[in-house]
Structure 1
Amino acid sequence: MTFQGWFLIIAFVAILLVLTKPMGRWLFALYEGRRTPLHRLLGPVERGFYRLSGIDPDEEQGWRRYAVHMLIFNAMLLLFTYAVLRLQGVLPLNPLGYDAVGADGAFNTAISFTTNTNWQWYSGEATLSNLSQMLGLTIQNFLSAATGIALAFALFRGFARRSAATIGNFWADMTRVTLYLLLPLCFVYAIFLIANGVPQTLAASIDISTLEGVKQTLALGPVASQEAIKMLGTNGGGFFNANSAHPFENPNALTNLVQMLSIFAIGFGLTWTFGKAVGNQRQGWAILAAMLTIFLAGVSITYWQEAAGNPILHQLGAAGGNMEGKEVRFGIAASALFSVVTTAASCGAVNAMHDSFTALGGMIPLLNIQLGEVVIGGVGAGIYGFLLFAILAVFVAGLMVGRTPEYVGKKIEAREVKLAVLAIAVLPLIILGGTAIASVTEAGLAGPLNKGPHGFSEILYGFTSAVGNNGSAFAGLSAGTPFYNGMLGVAMWLGRFFIIIPMLAIAGGLAAKKYTPESAGSFPTTGPLWTGLLVGIVLIVGGLTFLPSLALGPIADHLAMINGQLF
């Protein structure tokens, strides 16, 4: 480990803390439906959309109606993307003449991008046309991200409102987030990427000659526009197979830093927005402090392990840290930081191959997803997932100290706790169930490249990434088969919406409750004790569930490595 490496990590967090309030204020304006400086330019577009679709943005919805509209919208997006991929061979903007994507592959990809997972079993530049990349995938990147933020707003209203029957309007929330937040930011971001060498063209490829005189054909396309929303929307699906390790997606150290910042920027801002919404900014800062505690612990372990390197290679005379699977232009520190950022959020973009990390270095990205990706998390999804853990934490605190289980002025009763447990239990049930099936079936065992604990880790990571809606992978898993496309597709859908429905039910129930002023019998939820309790609940409830599977995978892999055994 080096001073420069730690400086990068500290500077990264410091920049994000500076951005938290400005981003939070912008999000709060959208949460309240207030005017922003962009309304003069984009307001007519918003109003035109409402007129064309027959939507009244001022018409509030109860949680059931909000959920139904959200589910119908996402189902239509899934069918649309599936149709684009299946018809790719006859649609325009297909200069290389790619055939239609197969049924199981189109099924998996359509679900993947609808659920903000962006798992990719294929090589983008060798499978998808420019039209499929833009119309099928980039649009989904915007709308799936906007859906997540809209859902976070709905839960915020549940905590903030008093004796209310509604939690907002799904269509208004989603439209405002897309129009006034994601599109403007991505427009500026894409220009920045183009200025740094990221292509933005409808050309399919370019022929070049290397310094050695070898002729090569390099794939091109509308990369910058997809790259911008890929990061800001915590989507992660790359235009190229190598994702953010590809120089056309992530050319240099500056773009690498900006990509990491953009993954976390909206998630940081939403913690401030939550505090503002419930009338107590300390609540938002307490949540952010708990998230950062877990994040920094994960970064420290990953950086330490990758900088330490592989002792087996050291014995063979290859000293130094672990550079396998990493880009020289980024190095160990930036690669380790990127891996923790992208899995703490539900992004899934990678600038290094996690399969090539050391056993414990690769375990942290895996554990980040298994915790529910609530350490900052995906845009919207991270904060509402973390608030589910907060409900459990305040309930446990009430049992331990005999105080009234209240959170931000709302009594936490049996209904909220049951729904929170139901939502949190979805992840381990599907992850461990899917991993178990794949680990004992012929079709499942045909996927991992490696044998032994590392091969098991590849399968476990695949289902963890799918259910957690992350999209990254241990690169050794060959998942482009009917078995994995089908299994992981179903896992992605369940992992997204079987958490959202209980969460919206909680929002509706909380909105209907009266405000309960804090009293001497209330458990304080803003100080260091509360932050520590939140960290403990996330690690115990979210982490210990997966300890046996981690012991069979990365922990066993690490013990074998330090004893000189390779698989």
Structure 2
Amino acid sequence: MNANDLLHTALFIVVLLVVAVLLGRYMTAVLDGSSVVVRKIGRPLEHLLYRLAGVDELAEMSWKQYAYAVLLFNAVGALAVYGVLRLQQWLPANPLGLGPMTTDAALNTAISFTTNTNWQDYTPETTVSYLTQMAALAVQNFLSAATGIAVAVALIRGLARHTANSIGNFWVDLTRTTLYILIPISLALSLLFIGQGAIQNFRHYADVPTLQTTTYQAPKTDAQGNPLKDAKGNPILQDVKADKQTIAMGPLASQEAIKMLGTNGGGFFNANSAHPYENPTPLTNFIQMVAMLSIGAALCIVFGRMVGDQRQGYAVLAAMTIAFALACWAEISYEQAGNPLIASLHVDQGSSALQAGGNMEGKETRFGIADSGIFTVATTSASCGAVNNMHDSLTPMGGFVPILMMQFGEVIFGGVGSGLYGMLVFALLAVFIAGLMIGRTPEYIGKKIESYEMKMVAIAVLAMPLIVLVGTSIGVLSPLGTAGIANPGAHGFSEILYAFTSATNNNGSAFAGLSVNTPFYNVLLAIAMWLGRFVPVVAVLAIAGSLAAKKRIAVTEGTLPTHGPLFVVLLLGAVVLIGVLTFVPALALGPVAEHLAMIAAH
């Protein structure tokens, strides 16, 4: 990692932390209703929405009612998206006349966007219409993000309240998050992206002449598209002249903004954030990286302010920042080192004034190693899944880092809401471990952590590894699973492991060498996405309800401080202990084995 890479990373982290503090203060005021935006400016619209939906905004919910509302709302959302995907051929705003998705692909996509995963095993610009992009996919980008934030806020209330039977109102949390946080910031980002060159229109796809005409031979076909053959059974070839290129159009900037802000990640184009229309300039690249981590980091500030001790929020934020910085260092270092097999051919991979150096396969030259590496770590830290480079082309250990970031449970900033509530679950686990070591009942922010909470913590923490490892096992043992592998050996195993890790953690990025648009993978990954999202959600809400009902106990000399450097180290230790030890065998079979083969010149 050279000085330029270090400067890039340091600048990014400083900007992110400044944005997090400012945004966290605003979000706290919105979520507790004290902001002037909530009390006066948006009040008429908010009140109208409650009346139309038949919601009593003053009625709070128990954790079971809150969980029921979350599950019902998202199930209805998944059904609505599925319907649009299956019926889009009869709906307006479909200039290309695109047909319906297959049943299994529509199921996978509907669950993917509902769970904030945005896993795409199809080519968006040739598969989904403008209406589908806007009314189904982009809408779920807002609602799935708002759901995650609402669950995080419910858990914070559980820690902040005492002897209470409720943890808030899901419909109010959902509405305020969408209305006052996600929509305004997304609108501002959309305008900024348009100013930098991202497109936003409803035009038909444009055919433009190419600078050079290319002639090649292709088989002749009949009216049904079947290849014609001569008397000997050989295909009949014809000369084809290529003198134009079709350029996709559409309402892109509006979806790009919430894609990044809501840690959704679903691209308007198949090339995702490597496409010049989605990510036109280095400035948009930097803003996208900040946007995808900003709410996850800001929620740490919200947490500290809502529990009445800002040091608690800063401690969690410090743990996330340290882990993120170390991951960026590792990712950039591995990619900057390149492939020793290429170096053995006397090819200079070092960075200089004339070349970026390192492993540039699958990367945009306008972003280079540093911005590609930070983006890779950010998107797999944040459960975003957007990519500005091809993860399948990373070096073995360069691919190890994003897999590991997801296998930590994506609690390093994490998805909007899910990152914070995931890290708070690890905080409960950390104080439990500390309590065992010193022989005291574990406490966190004045609440005793007892057997019920630890059972829910176990469910929340272990559900993801169970789903990932069982799914990966099915994938590598089934002929239907191995049929999609394009690369044999350790890398092929890594592709399947990455797919289930990404789906279960609701990330959505992929090692793209695996062909997953099949009924086998569509159904299996859909199950992984749904369970990976909502099993931890229900467990977290159960924890919130239990903690809210407890009395707050006084701090004594024997209470473990949960706002200092010692706790930050303990918290990071708990994350690493669970993440690494759970997945060591799988990682050894995948990226580690591939790395050892590479350095051994195989």
Structure 2 gap segments, 5+ residues each: 214-242, 350-357
Equivalent residues of 1:404, 1:523 under 8 A apart: no
For 2:36 and 2:488, the matched residues in 1 are separated by 55
1:376 aligns with 2:413: yes
Give how far 1:494 is off: 0.2
Question: What letter corresponds to residue 264 of structure 1 in structure 2?
Answer: L
Equivalent residues of 2:465, 2:582 under 8 A apart: yes
Correspondence for 1:483:
520
SS at match of 2:36: coil
SS at match of 1:201: coil
274 and 82 in structure 1: CA distance in 2 versus 1, 3 angstrom threshold: same
For 2:249 and 2:49, the matched residues in 1 are separated by 33
Correspondence for 1:165:
165
Correspondence for 1:4:
4
Q: Deviations over 1:214-253 (max 9, x none)?
A: 4211001000000000000000000000100000100110
Equivalent residues of 1:403, 1:523 under 8 A apart: no
Equivalent residues of 1:230, 1:237 under 8 A apart: yes
Correspondence for 1:257:
286
Question: What letter corresponds to residue 141 of structure 1 in structure 2?
Answer: N
What number of residue pairs does the alignment pair up? 565
Q: Deviations over 1:163-197 (max 9, x none)?
A: 00000000000000000000000111100000011
Question: What letter corresponds to residue 194 of structure 2 in structure 1?
Answer: I
**TM-score with structure 2 setting the length:** 0.93
Equivalent residues of 2:382, 2:413 under 8 A apart: yes
Question: What letter corresponds to residue 92 of structure 2 in structure 1?
Answer: P
| Correspondence for 2:568 among 528, 531, 541 | 531
Give how far 1:34 is off: 2.2
Correspondence for 1:330:
367
| Correspondence for 2:503 among 466, 486, 489 | 466
Correspondence for 2:105:
105
Equivalent residues of 1:404, 1:522 under 8 A apart: no
Equivalent residues of 1:164, 1:513 under 8 A apart: yes
Give how far 1:39 is off: 5.2
Q: Deviations over 1:97-116 (max 9, x none)?
A: 11101000000000000000
For 2:42 and 2:97, the matched residues in 1 are separated by 37
For 2:2 and 2:327, the matched residues in 1 are separated by 17
1:290 aligns with 2:319: yes
1:242 aligns with 2:271: yes
Correspondence for 1:362:
399
Correspondence for 2:339:
310
For 2:42 and 2:516, the matched residues in 1 are separated by 42
Give how far 1:462 is off: 0.2
Name the Cα RMSD after superposition: 1.0
Equivalent residues of 2:199, 2:251 under 8 A apart: yes
| Structure (1 or 2) with the larger CA radius of gyration | 2
Which region of structure 1 is more displaced relative to structure 2, 493-502 or 313-322?
313-322
For 1:29 and 1:207, the matched residues in 2 are separated by 49
| Correspondence for 2:595 among 549, 558, 564 | 558
SS at match of 2:247: strand
For 2:538 and 2:403, the matched residues in 1 are separated by 25
For 1:131 and 1:2, the matched residues in 2 are separated by 46
Correspondence for 2:257:
228
Correspondence for 2:328:
299
Question: What letter corresponds to residue 125 of structure 2 in structure 1?
Answer: E
SS at match of 1:37: helix
| Correspondence for 1:549 among 561, 583, 586 | 586
For 1:463 and 1:204, the matched residues in 2 are separated by 36
Correspondence for 2:452:
415
* Structure with greater proportional helix content: 1
Correspondence for 2:84:
84
Correspondence for 2:182:
182
SS at match of 2:522: helix
Q: Map of 1:506-517 to 2, 5 A cutoff?
A: 506-517=543-554
Give how far 1:38 is off: 6.2
Q: Deviations over 1:247-297 (max 9, x none)?
A: 010011000000000001111110011011111111111111111111111
For 1:304 and 1:250, the matched residues in 2 are separated by 24
| Correspondence for 1:275 among 304, 313, 322 | 304
Correspondence for 2:531:
494
**TM-score with structure 1 setting the length:** 0.98
Correspondence for 2:198:
198
Structure 1 gap segments, 5+ residues each: none
Equivalent residues of 1:81, 1:136 under 8 A apart: yes
For 1:45 and 1:378, the matched residues in 2 are separated by 28
Give how far 1:43 is off: 2.1
For 2:397 and 2:204, the matched residues in 1 are separated by 40
Give how far 1:401 is off: 1.6
Equivalent residues of 2:499, 2:510 under 8 A apart: yes
Question: What letter corresponds to residue 203 of structure 1 in structure 2?
Answer: R
SS at match of 1:521: coil
Question: What letter corresponds to residue 31 of structure 1 in structure 2?
Answer: L
Equivalent residues of 1:419, 1:503 under 8 A apart: yes
Q: Deviations over 1:461-492 (max 9, x none)?
A: 00000000000000101110000000000000
Equivalent residues of 1:205, 1:219 under 8 A apart: yes
For 2:292 and 2:20, the matched residues in 1 are separated by 13
Question: What letter corresponds to residue 149 of structure 2 in structure 1?
Answer: I
Correspondence for 2:429:
392
SS at match of 1:87: helix
| Correspondence for 2:381 among 344, 354, 371 | 344
1:69 aligns with 2:37: no
Equivalent residues of 1:82, 1:107 under 8 A apart: yes
Question: What letter corresponds to residue 377 of structure 1 in structure 2?
Answer: G
For 1:562 and 1:36, the matched residues in 2 are separated by 60
Task: Name the % identity.
Answer: 55
